Amino acid sequence: MTTLYESAYAKINLTLDILCKREDGFHDLETIMQTLSLCDDVEIDVQTGKEWTLWCDKEDVPCDSRNLAWKAAELFEQHSGRNLGGVAIRIKKRIPSQAGMGGGSSDAAAVLRMLNRYCGHLFSEMELADLGGRIGSDVPFCVAGGTCMCEGRGERLRRLPAMPECTILVCKPEFGVSTPALYRTIDEKEILRRPDNAAMEQALKAKDLASIARGVWNVFDPVVSEVHPEMNEIRDVMQQCGALGQQMTGSGSAFFGVMPDAQSAERAAEQLRRRYSCIFICKPV
């Protein structure tokens, strides 16, 4: 038996734009994603010689073949033609669910990365990312990590210059957002403001943190903020504590602020903790 380990990093969307609804029902996106130091710990025993098992320390996460980490191991076994000889997966979760932080996707990506390492890098990073696309739209980015422009359903990746070092404060309010319902709502609305992805790419290239932070924009944010005033409350606290920019990530409901330093992040976190329990101070990775 061999034990493998990998961190599964959370993601945020620095920008998120919806271009159109496709005939297959999916939407074409243009989104710049970034991985954060906030992570789940994923461990796998391979060649256990026993039935497949999955353990997770969070009750609301499925511990069977519905889990994306399990699906990733199954897919890898089928696609590589390697017999993993019985698999035991253990996940310690820190990434909140229903947050738009790619919790399940990053666990799946971590499984793909470590099984690929175990098999002597059978697939290139891009081949592995493509394979991940069969599990979910965010999995290809989670395989690659770092800073990427993601197009199509999210599966077409282009690596961008890394985000400069900074402090990112994340606050996940209690409510969850139904992603299909959110897409239905946005289909019925006119999108009044879109992110300027070209400007964001320039700002990343120039390592200009103030411009990066000013440019964060997610077309879902106003739709969710309209029905959940908590979003504006979190935004106000971050702004008052000096955030350079702030925005909801993915389809919510986590909200992040690009903070000028660790002290202002701590000040904002302290205020937010009076009302919200799910708060993280992290860094881009």
- Which residue is nearest to ligand ATP, using beta carbons? 103
Nearer to ligand ATP, 12 or 209 (CB): 12
Question: Where along the sequence are the contacts to ligand ATP (CB under 6 A)?
Answer: 61-62, 67-69, 91, 97-105, 107, 138, 179, 250-251
Q: Catalytic residues, which ones?
A: 11, 138
Residue 185: CB minimum distance to ligand ATP, A? 16
Nearer to ligand ATP, 54 or 238 (CB): 54
Nearer to ligand ATP, 177 or 241 (CB): 177
Nearer to ligand ATP, 23 or 59 (CB): 59
Residue 21: CB minimum distance to ligand ATP, A? 18
Residue 47: CB minimum distance to ligand ATP, A? 22
Residue 17: CB minimum distance to ligand ATP, A? 17
Beta strands 217-218 and 2-21, pairing class: parallel
